[in-house]
């Protein structure tokens, strides 16, 4: 027989779950935006003072971030932001090509009218905000970054494998740190709307081979941009 929890216990569980989500969102944003630099130690007591959460939701949020690869956990040293390196980016890129590109292939083959409508809507919102932004790096704008993520994940939404979709989203987030990192040191202006428009148009035409090739080049371009940023920093 299942034990029925008192109502006040259920309310406490819901409250704790909400606090974990809030802590996770705040910490994740801090890692992705560089508020917490690569390699920085994330001390529970300092995070409590900064964000006002108790230790329990913070530890749960940090554990989730560690599962996503954005931070590293050490039993004796606590939590640290994952380092940034060309080797790590190469690994992320390799995995994205292995998981995200095949997920797109499946999604384009299986997507229905609702999938098409969602892709077009996500692209439209992304294009609108990009048109309003200045000539600075769009990757550093939080709203643009959120819409950029939504567009890419909408392309994969019809993939039948939940694991592929989840892992693709996680790898996309890990690459987001590198996109923002390279954007801070980018010399040439880079507008992405044309790239995204081509990917969308070819996906809606159901040209599987071409759209997969476009996404592969799109992913590799992030790697090249970060490599160029590393070279500029090292040469400074």
pLDDT tens digits, 19-78: 889 999 999 989 988 889 889 999 999 999 998 888 889 999 999 999 888 999 876 778
Contact 38, 85 (CB under 8 A): no
What is the torsion angle, in degrees rounded to the nearest 10, for the CA atoms of residue 156, residue 159, residue 163 and residue 168? Answer: -20
Distance CA(114)–CA(159), nearest Å, equals 13
Contact 129, 196 (CB under 8 A): no
Comparison of pLDDT for 189 and 67, the residue scoring more: 67
DSSP sequence for 159-185 = -S-HHHHHHHHHHHHHHHHHHHHHHHT
pLDDT digit string, tens, across residues 94-145 = 999 999 999 999 999 999 999 999 999 999 999 999 888 766 566 678 889 9
Mean pLDDT of 203-226: 96
Residue 185 pLDDT: 72
pLDDT range class, residue 164, cuts 50, 70, 90: very high
Residue 16, pLDDT above cutoff 80: no
Distance CA(139)–CA(159), nearest Å, equals 26
Residue 207 pLDDT: 98
Residue 154 pLDDT: 98
Bridge partners, 72 (sequence order): 80
Give 187's DSSP letter. -
Residue 4, pLDDT above cutoff 60: no
pTM equals 0.83
Distance CA(231)–CA(11), nearest Å, equals 53
Of 158, 165, 151, which Cα lies nearest the Cα of 108?
158
Residue 78 pLDDT: 83
């Amino acid at each position: 027989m299942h034990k029925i929890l008192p109502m006040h216990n259920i309310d406490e569980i819901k409250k704790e779950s909400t606090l974990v989500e809030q802590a996770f969102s705040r910490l994740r944003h801090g890692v992705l935006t560089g508020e917490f630099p690569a390699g920085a130690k994330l001390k529970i007591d300092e995070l409590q003072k900064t964000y006002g959460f108790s230790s329990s939701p913070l530890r749960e949020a940090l554990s989730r971030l560690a599962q996503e690869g954005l931070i590293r956990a050490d039993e004796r040293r606590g939590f640290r932001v994952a380092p940034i390196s060309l080797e790590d980016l190469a690994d992320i890129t390799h995995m994205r090509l292995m998981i995200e590109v095949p997920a797109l292939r499946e999604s384009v083959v299986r997507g229905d009218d609702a999938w098409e409508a969602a892709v077009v809507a996500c692209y439209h919102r992304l294009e609108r905000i990009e048109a309003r932004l200045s000539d600075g790096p769009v990757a550093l704008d939080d709203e643009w970054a959120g819409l950029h993520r939504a567009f890419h994940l909408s392309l994969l939404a019809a993939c039948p494998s939940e694991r592929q979709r989840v892992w693709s989203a996680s790898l996309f987030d890990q690459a987001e740190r590198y996109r923002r990192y390279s954007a801070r040191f980018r010399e040439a202006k880079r507008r992405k709307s044309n790239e995204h428009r081509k990917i969308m148009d070819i996906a809606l035409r159901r040209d599987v081979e071409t759209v997969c090739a476009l996404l592969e080049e799109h992913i590799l371009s992030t790697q090249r941009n970060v490599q160029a940023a590393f070279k500029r920093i090292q040469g400074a």
